[in-house]
A and B are shown apart, each in its own frame.
Chain A
Amino acid sequence: MTRREWMAQTAAVAAISATPALAAAPSAPVAVARCRSYGPEMVTTLNKMFDQIGGLERIVKGKTVAMKVNLTGSANYRLGYTPAELAHWTHPRVIGATIHAMHRAGAKRVRVLESAWSTAEPIEEGMLEAGWDLSEITSAGGRVEMENTNWLGSDKRYHRFRPANGGHLFREYWLNHSYSDCDVFVSVAKLKEHVTTGVTMSMKNLFGITPCTIYGDGATTDEPLILPKGGRGTVFHAGKRQPAKISPVENDPQSSREAGYRVPRAVADLVSARPVHLAVIDGIATMAGGEGPWCGPQIAQTNPGVLIVGTNPVCTDAVGAAVMGFDPMADRGTAPFETSDNMMRLAEEHGVGTRDLRRIEVLGTPIAKARFSMRSFRAPVARA
């Protein structure tokens, strides 16, 4: 047997052994709805969508809910004159409406979580700096708390989370206690493209649950920092350094240092390690061309007017990708994954959920009627 034959046979065996795992990846219904504004129609639309996926009571009644929202980047950074919530941040009224619905469904308490950019300040301060009226969240219903999870926070230790199959990138991740001190975990995300991972929705939202005291640019391979510093470029994107020593080194330090390889794997690991019970994607007002105002000349504010809700983040994001005009089965080299691996496929390999639209029941507005071309909303860029 030649070396080439041996490799081909090995690959075939690997493909066969991987097939049952993909087939076994669970599916869950996803609700899609058109919604043009963040006014009262958004509350009734969301409530109807929660009913369509089986109601929130079965998920949250009597439970403590942790809700990761997407407040990426600095609070005083806008896409032009557009307030953050109309471009790259989850809108406070979507957060408030989801809290309200969960309160009505019997949730014991809701803790809103985000790792604020390069600070240990309370996330409320960032919301205020962005110009938000906090009462839209804190008075939405029942007991509402918030925590900045970019550091140790109010606990004395970090908590360990293990992805399936030993993880793609790391075999374990160390997070703030709030991701452990909850019965139910909810990802309330924005419908966007992403310059590193192609798209960002309920799955990629979890990239921000990693504390920069351990995984940040300012961290060292020694003890975690007291206060977070910088973003996650050094450890996750570029793999230039291992995280603080509380974390094991990555599974394969010889693996690719390319962000398009590494970040989708980290996201798939996190979605496996910290399972999401409810995914809510805000696509009423958002941006095209990237995940934030820093993404280059192609970015533009846009108003697709859609909401997407599901109980499985892979299924929900697969539908979200399709609504944005992309094929969730596509992979590296094909839009939107021109320069990255498909994190939905990687999470599917962990058994989190299927991205195969043929296996996902879509409720409410059919994908064909909700679909738009996110790429067509990009700003024109002059070519040299």
Chain B
Amino acid sequence: LSFRRQFPARILHPSRLGNKWSNGLRAIAVIGNETDRNVLQPALDAGATVLASATNQKLTQGLTTTGIHDNGYKLFAAGKGSIAISPTEWNDPYGVIQDAQRILSRGNDVVRLWNSGSSIAHPTQNNSGASVQVLNYSGRPAGHPMSVWLARRFPEAQVSDLFGRTETLTTDRRNEGTEVNVPVFTTYAAIDFKERA
């Protein structure tokens, strides 16, 4: 569901976290009531925001509240980061993603799509650049062609389809990132962003 908001996320299990599990994470949504704050402390110390349901008040024990976000979450300072507690119990995964994006702000977007229609995007990073895979699950082109923005500057980009056809795209620097206009496609497009060879 997170990808419907063009919001990159991954699932972590508290019992299978490595040493550097929190590196680069801006936010962590804690599902269930079993996670202790000390598990989250490395992420909080690095400045991440932890979101939790109203049933997870124990995470904020001994912390000072810093206010209430305009979507109703109670905010607490923790390490260099913060903990945001929902005013109600979570029962809608899409709502949680929506809340997370609101609290983080779209200023922290990793990827943006225009004219996305019924498409979802999955960005990944690799040694030589980054890729955004776009899946259009309506199976037909949107009324207007799509543009994609990635929050990192790359001088080169190309798009590929399921049949291996590729096309070089013109990159446009915009707001500390890279924007490309994607030719019309029906189902799948992979946009590879690269450093200059």
**Complex: how many Å from CA A97 to CA B111?**
29
Secondary structure at the B interface, as helix, strand, loop or mixed, is mixed
A76 to chain B, nearest CB (A): 5
Decide if B116 touches A76 in the complex (CB within 8 Å).
yes
Decide if B113 touches A131 in the complex (CB within 8 Å).
no
Residues of A within 8 A of B145 (CB): 80-81
Cβ-Cβ contact count across A and B, 8 Å cutoff: 43
Residues of B within 8 A of A134 (CB): 107
Residues of B within 8 A of A132 (CB): 175
Say if the beta carbon of A106 comes within 8 Å of chain B. Answer: no
Q: How large is the interface on A (under 10, 10 to 19, 20 to 34, 35 or more residues)?
A: 10 to 19
Decide if B144 touches A128 in the complex (CB within 8 Å).
no
Decide if B112 touches A129 in the complex (CB within 8 Å).
yes
Residues of A within 8 A of B147 (CB): 78, 81
Please, which residue of chain B has its CB at the minimum distance from the CB of A293?
A: B144
Q: Mark B101-120, 1 if CB is under 8 A from A, else 0.
A: 01001110100111110000
Residues of B within 8 A of A78 (CB): 114-115, 144, 147
Given contacts A121-B102, A131-B149, A131-B175, contact A77 B114 (CB under 8 A): yes
Q: Mark A45-77, 1 if CB is under 8 A from B, else 0.
A: 000000000000000000000000000000011
Give the B interface residue count (CB, 8 A). 20
Say if the beta carbon of B34 comes within 8 Å of chain A. Answer: no
Residues of B within 8 A of A122 (CB): 70
**Complex: how many Å from CA A80 to CA B147?**
9
A355 to chain B, nearest CB (A): 34
Q: Which of A76, A79, A133 contacts B112 (CB 8 A)?
A: A76
Residues of A within 8 A of B144 (CB): 77-80, 293
Residues of B within 8 A of A81 (CB): 145, 147, 181
**Complex: how many Å from CA A76 to CA B114?**
5
Residues of A within 8 A of B102 (CB): 121, 125
Say if the beta carbon of B179 comes within 8 Å of chain A. Answer: yes
Decide if B112 touches A131 in the complex (CB within 8 Å).
yes
Say if the beta carbon of B80 comes within 8 Å of chain A. Answer: no
Q: Which of A77, A128, A293 contacts B106 (CB 8 A)?
A: A128
Say if the beta carbon of B174 comes within 8 Å of chain A. Answer: yes
Can you report 14 residue pairs joining A to B where beta carbons are below 8 Å apart?
A76-B114, A77-B114, A77-B115, A78-B114, A78-B147, A80-B144, A80-B145, A81-B181, A125-B105, A128-B106, A128-B107, A128-B109, A129-B106, A293-B143
Q: Sort A-B residue pairs by CB-CB distance and give the 4 closest, nearest first.
A: A128-B106, A81-B181, A78-B114, A125-B106
